[in-house]
Structure 1
């Protein structure tokens, strides 16, 4: 059987399938890899099933053994993999699209609700045993009905969020590289430029990829273009937000509240977030359901099976 290096502890059903079809090298204790330890474990392997955060930069990929034919990542994003270096080595790279859109959209909707209704502040009050009882002006948030939700990046996740948001009476605006066809737009209002988009919304939900082109997209200048009292939510990539600028806006009140599920350099957090009462912080839960994580693992294995068991192209190749 081909030898497969599995870099992280994965759901039981995924590991069982990997062990059935491959000489699988698993990571039962989920010990993080260094560059050297990953390269040592990859000796003799034919493929790698990796995950976000694994050190697969250009230097690591250049040093991988010649036996490696494919890297399949347990994620949609590929920011952690040097795609050009893999292509130069002739190593296929594949991801897991289409299976986590609903789960991630649910987390975006959860963050919108928590930010709008000040749920984190309320829970902190309860846990600290500082709740004095109900009061007419206590923790007043804002109602979602009639508010304008701006979806930045209306791909699969953004479209699923729009479906959910309509049920709460939100009016959908969106900013995308291209305008969607009417059957996907479903009446949402398209904006061709950033400023018009930002000035037209009450809630910003971010779903854009990471990388140099989008780094700190949400800058102090763009935050200033949002109406006062706006809400910001990010379930896309942490590096797309200027943390210092968002913290300053939360402190001034220009941004009423925020909700984050992703962070620049995670698991490290920008220190200013920890003291901000009007922000909800989740530990990258976007795809964190049993159904979704199983589906991601099976899709990664489908990619590996194509290359290593059938000598075919992976169905979800990105490089």
Structure 2
């Protein structure tokens, strides 16, 4: 009997820890465990397995809402209840984008410590801002709510724009080695590019993988450059060539972060040397370089 009781307790503890985290990529639906609050009476959050623009962040489906026309949106997409436990599920991440970079969708992220009703979302986790025109990861810290049960809501406030997309929610904990964010490339020449990023932890060394898209290469997870500094100038590139680059923080004894990227760019053409002659004798033959 004691063995059975002990096993039962272990199973309860295992299930609780397993269910304390969640992921949701909306591949088949917006689950019934999520709550949709439609206060604008015009549009509402819906499931979409054929999103326009750049498609889903991962897989094929997303949750989205169309912008209000006569009145602004006031619509909440609410997570299941999260019982926050330090070191287990004290952060939430998701990806967000506007359907078009021309029509940016305002939204905010709110938190409730009581119930999944609009009046209870009194904590602002992220102030109203415009979702970018490309998929962007949002990371929110829930550690202040350790041992509390909370709900997190994405509230669309858009009017006369287009559509707001969200995808790939993850409720987990912060890794020992935080991944870099805000990757940028600058000063692109025919053979070099300056690559930079934001460090979110204490790393002072990073790994970089350079993928030659024109040559048909794909990402491998193996560094092209180890021990890079931030920023870093990549050299030895081919002119008029497409590349993607990834970066990973190296936290020493704590191990590396996950790889982040890609960020894509095309190198410039080689400079023309005099004399340069182009007679365009071949129809439609306007050279790239």
With CA pairs under 8 Å and 6+ residues apart, which has the higher RCO, 1 or 2? 1
Structure number having the greater helix percentage: 1
User: Rg bigger for which structure?
Assistant: 2
Q: TM-score, normalised by structure 2?
A: 0.26
Structure number having the greater strand percentage: 2
Q: TM-score, normalised by structure 1?
A: 0.24
